[in-house]
């Protein structure tokens, strides 16, 4: 009924922070931490690990940085039954801003990169491993990468010591066939490494594509509570845990926090399936134009929005 090798990473605070510049108060993050811990989730990605020389705390909340002081405010006094993760983007974190694992509340640092940056990602991931962390590399936007460029990136990753590589549908553009195609390609190119999946919901396929990834043998699964995330959001944690049929998972704490916090929040800060995000998904485009359309007081002419994006003409 289930594969015990499967591990679920909830990235609500990290990916969800893209909707409000990580301006979550401590009470929100603490309640998410508690609910996820009680639900049996394996990892909580609590935010980004970024250097403050590149970003301002005036414009970004604490979870863009995940300093040890930030983490202690959430974790101290809490029973730690799951591991904590943060994501690092290439060029946005300096090596000296990553403490040793023995001095950190974090267990894992996931390095996000594009195919052209994979050498820098491997270097950063190896640096994190040397400091004692679990690491992954999340290869973003592969739906837009030429196959030769992807093959070269996978060849470099195969030679690295990084144990887990994520397939990321950054634009919510993939269908079932692409999930299976990429899973097969990654498996063949990366023997001995674990594979992960991170999906976006532009076409309402984040959950079903995650299921297809499971069928294809992928064991590291990303999700967010109530699907909260950038633009169209992600695979919902509550759906994923229910599907997995693993008795260690309990969705009741997730359901409770959805009613208490996420439903009221969604009435104020919008995320999830909407036509502008659907259009960017079916055209395999970055969702920034859809996010701009959704942030306006009134939606643009959606047919014109589609035609201009499809035809490559400048959007007004």
**184 in the same domain as 217:** yes
CA dihedral sign of residues 231, 182, 40, 88 = negative
Dihedral (C-alpha) 63, 68, 71, 75: value to the nearest 10 degrees? 170
pLDDT at 77: 80
Residue 150 lies in a domain: yes
Separation of CA 294 from chain center: 21
**161 in the same domain as 292:** no
What phi and psi values does residue 267 have, to the nearest 5 degrees?
-75, -15
| Mean predicted confidence (pLDDT) in 216-231 | 96
**55 in the same domain as 117:** yes
- Give the contacts of 216 (CB within 8 A, at least 6 positions apart): 179, 180, 183, 184
Beta-carbon neighbour count of residue 80 at 10 Å?
11
Q: Is the pTM of this model over 0.85?
A: yes
Q: N- to C-terminal Cα distance for the chain?
A: 51
Percentage of the chain lying above the pLDDT 90 cut = 91
**227 in the same domain as 290:** no
**297 in the same domain as 178:** no
pLDDT exceeds 90 at position 171: yes
**285 in the same domain as 233:** no
Q: Under the phi-then-psi rule, with left for phi > 0, alpha for psi from -120 to 50, and beta for the rest, what region is 226? A: left
Residue 316 lies in a domain: no
Residue 1 lies in a domain: no
pLDDT exceeds 60 at position 223: yes
Q: Which residue has the tokens 């984040």?
A: 206
Domain enclosing residue 52, as ranges = 7-266
What phi and psi values does residue 109 have, to the nearest 5 degrees?
-125, 120
Token representation of residue 270: 């919008």
pLDDT exceeds 80 at position 2: no
Nearest-Å Rg of the Cα atoms of the chain is 19
Q: What is the mean pLDDT of the chain?
A: 95
**307 in the same domain as 212:** no
**287 in the same domain as 212:** no
How many domains are contained in the chain? 2
**206 in the same domain as 307:** no
- Residue 315: pLDDT band with limits 50, 70, 90: low
Rounded distance, CA 238 to CA 258, Å? 9
Q: What are the b/e assignments for 59-78, b being 16+ CB within 10 Å?
A: ebbbbbbbbeebbeebbeee
pLDDT at 78: 79
**116 in the same domain as 212:** yes
| Mean predicted confidence (pLDDT) in 275-295 | 94
| 37 within 8 A of 80, measured Cβ to Cβ | yes
Rounded distance, CA 32 to CA 10, Å? 10
**189 in the same domain as 298:** no
| Mean predicted confidence (pLDDT) in 238-251 | 95
pLDDT digits (tens, 9 = 90+) for 31-63: 999 999 999 999 999 999 999 999 999 999 999
Residue 2 lies in a domain: no
Beta-carbon neighbour count of residue 14 at 10 Å?
26
Residue 11 lies in a domain: yes
> In terms of C-beta density within 10 A (0-12 exposed, 13-18 middle, 19 or more buried), how is residue 210 classed?
buried
Residue 41 lies in a domain: yes
Rounded distance, CA 313 to CA 316, Å? 9
| 86 within 8 A of 109, measured Cβ to Cβ | yes
- Residue 316: pLDDT band with limits 50, 70, 90: low
> In terms of C-beta density within 10 A (0-12 exposed, 13-18 middle, 19 or more buried), how is residue 279 classed?
buried
CA geometry: angle 220, 84, 14, nearest 5 deg: 80
Residue 180 lies in a domain: yes
pLDDT exceeds 70 at position 276: yes
| 201 within 8 A of 273, measured Cβ to Cβ | yes
pLDDT exceeds 70 at position 1: no
**210 in the same domain as 292:** no
Residue 300 lies in a domain: yes
Token representation of residue 298: 């009134």
Supply the CATH number for residue 238's domain. 3.20.20.70
- Comparing CA positions, the residue from 136, 140, 113 lying closest to residue 126 is 136
């Amino acid at each position: 009924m289930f594969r015990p090798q499967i591990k679920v990473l909830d990235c609500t605070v990290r990916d969800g922070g893209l909707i409000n510049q990580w301006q979550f108060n401590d009470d929100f993050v603490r309640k998410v931490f508690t609910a996820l811990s009680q639900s049996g989730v394996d990892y909580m990605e609590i935010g980004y690990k970024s250097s403050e020389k590149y970003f301002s705390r005036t414009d970004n909340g604490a979870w863009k940085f995940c300093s040890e002081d930030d983490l202690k405010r959430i974790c101290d006094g809490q029973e730690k039954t799951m591991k904590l993760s943060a994501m690092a983007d290439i060029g946005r974190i300096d090596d000296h801003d990553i403490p040793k694992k023995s001095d950190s509340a974090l267990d894992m640092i996931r390095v996000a990169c594009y195919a052209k940056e994979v050498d820098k990602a491997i270097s950063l991931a190896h640096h994190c491993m040397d400091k004692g962390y679990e690491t992954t590399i999340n290869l973003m936007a592969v739906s837009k990468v030429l196959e030769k460029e992807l093959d070269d990136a996978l060849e470099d990753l195969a030679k690295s010591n990084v144990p887990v590589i994520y397939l990321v549908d950054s634009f919510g553009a993939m269908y079932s066939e692409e999930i299976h195609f990429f899973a097969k390609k990654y498996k063949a190119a990366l023997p001995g490494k674990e594979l992960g999946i991170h999906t976006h919901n532009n076409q309402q396929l984040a959950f079903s594509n995650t299921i297809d990834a499971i069928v294809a043998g992928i064991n590291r699964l990303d999700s967010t509570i109530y699907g909260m995330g950038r633009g169209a959001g992600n695979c919902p944690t509550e759906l994923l845990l229910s599907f997995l049929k693993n008795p260690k998972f309990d969705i009741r704490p997730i359901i409770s926090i959805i009613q208490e916090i996420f439903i009221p929040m969604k009435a104020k800060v919008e995320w999830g399936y909407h036509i502008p995000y659907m259009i960017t998904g079916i055209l395999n485009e970055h969702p920034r134009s859809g996010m701009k359309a959704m942030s306006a007081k009134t939606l643009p002419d959606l047919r014109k929005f589609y035609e201009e994006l499809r035809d490559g003409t400048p959007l007004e």
